Structure formats: C-alpha cells, structure tokens
Amino acid sequence: MKIHNGNLLDISNIESNSYLQINSCGIQLQSGQGKLTFRKEGRCDYHIVYIAEGACEIEYNGEMTLLKHGFALYPPHVPQRYIEHQNTRKLWIHFNGYHVEDILKECKLSYGVHHLSPSPVCEKLFIQLTAEHNQKSGLSNEKGLLLTFLNTLGKSINNISTTNEKIEEAISFITTHYNTEISIKELADSCDLSQSRFMYLFKEKAGQSPHAYQQMLRINNCMTLLASTQLNITDICMLSGYTDPLYFSKIFKKYVGMSPREYRKELSS
C-alpha cells in the first residue's frame, strides 16, 4: 500500500483573506495498489473527499467508515486519514475563507462522512470547477461553481435524510397494519419513489422485502397467539390477516418448520 503524508511539502495549505478561496482541487483514479493518506494536524483549510467510484475507508473523530459513494467533509485543524482502495475514483478539494462557516450552514452541510446515491450532477459540477481552477480563467467563476457544488451536496444529504424518514414510516406502517392488505404502489407513492426504488431502499433498511417483512410479522403474531391463547387456528389465521386457512398452514410450516397444530401441540407437551 502506498503511504502519503499529506503534511509534507503541502504548499497549498494556506490561509485566506477572501470570503471564499479554492486552494487546490483535482480528480484522481487510484488504479494500482491502495493508498493511505494522513495528516496528523489536518490543514488550515476545509477539505472534501468525494468518492465517485470504488471504495474508501475514511476516519473521522476516531471512527472508520467504509464509503462506497459519497463524501467526507473535514474542518480545519482536524486529523485526516483515509485509505483509497484499488480502482477508486476520488474528487477532492481544499478551500478556505472567512465566510465558509456561514456558507456551510446555509447549505446545511455538516462535518463528517456522508453516504450518497451516485450524482452525475455533482460530478459534472466538480469537473467544471476543476477546469476553471486549473485554467485560472476567473476567480468569480470558480467561486460560483464551488457555491453551487456545496449547495448541491447539501440538497443531496437532505434528500437522503427525507427519503430515509419516509422509508422508516413505511416500515412502521406495515408493522402496525401487518394483518391488512398492503399496496406496494401506494407505499412507494407516499415516499415519492418508483416501486423498484422503494423496494430496493426498503430491503436495504429492513433487511428484507416489504412482503417478506409483513409475512414475518404475521407469523410471529400467529406463534404468539398459538402459545398464549386458546383461540382456534382458523380464528388465529383470520386475526393475522390470512383469509385461507390452508394457505396459512402452508406458509406457517414454511417459516416455522411445522404446521400450526403441530406447533401448539409441541408447546403443550
């Protein structure tokens, strides 16, 4: 693994008398072996490490996070350490200025590591920003692009947070309505997502599909009623949301390994 001490010969690590200033930026593909970058004292400016492809282990406040897509934002004078895996494409920028704190608050950007979905818009903005900075064609242009880039990152974070909250609400809805018919389309619409995207995010959050999650809740409820009540199996079937006792028995056996009648008998023996 390559090791890079970012505090050595760091000529771009400079203070700023401007409201916003880019000290350095670039795009790098780590095509060979992995690379460790560390700065024990951090830098005097702000640093964004944006992972567009591959994976990077990023340490912040002593906690290591595997980032496959998203970014880390380091404030000044905070230790930096990250390990780029092979075939990782990284976008990076160091910037400073006496208005940066206000800008970050306005963009709702917080320090630390943020997971994001792939964003062609962010990447396109960064490519334009890097080109402007390297050509030195105009400070106002690059500052404007940086402001747009930061604002886009902030919106991406907040959209992810809002979507996560909506997925959690969908999980909660199924949890409390497991014994009723549930429409995936209606749940997806309530989250402002396509059905396929909703299914993907739901499984990522709950560990299983909406249908499998509902079945698990139903079977767990059946097991509880079989163990704690004298209700007949048909009533338990209906209370748990099944209308066909034969189908219920088949599903129960698939999950538990025995029929409802066998399960109750085993509990009483």
Residue 268's alpha-carbon distances to 63, 112, 116, in angstroms, are 50, 54, 51
What is the SS3 assignment for the chain? Answer: CEEEECCCCCCCCCCCCCCCEEEEEEEEEECCCCEEEEECCCCCCEEEEEEEECCEEEEECCEEEEECCEEEEECCCCCEEEEECCCEEEEEEEEECCCHHHHHHHCCCCCEEEECCCCHHHHHHHHHHHHHHHHCCCHHHHHHHHHHHHHHHHHHHHHHHHHHHHHHHHHHHHHHCCCCCCCHHHHHHHCCCCHHHHHHHHHHHHCCCHHHHHHHHHHHHHHHHHHHCCCCHHHHHHHCCCCCHHHHHHHHHHHHCCCHHHHHHHHHC
| Among candidate residues 108, 104, 95, 100, the one with its CA nearest the CA of residue 46 | 95
Give residue limits of the domains in the chain: 2-160, 177-269
**What value does the mean pLDDT of the chain take?**
92
Q: What is the pTM of this model?
A: 0.64
Q: Taking residues 7-34, what's their average pLDDT?
A: 87
The CATH class that applies to domain 2-160 reads mainly beta
User: pLDDT tens digits, residue range 209-241?
Assistant: 999 999 999 999 999 999 999 999 999 999 999
CATH 1.10.10.60 at 177-269, yes or no: yes
For 245-255, the pLDDT digits (tens) are 999 999 999 99
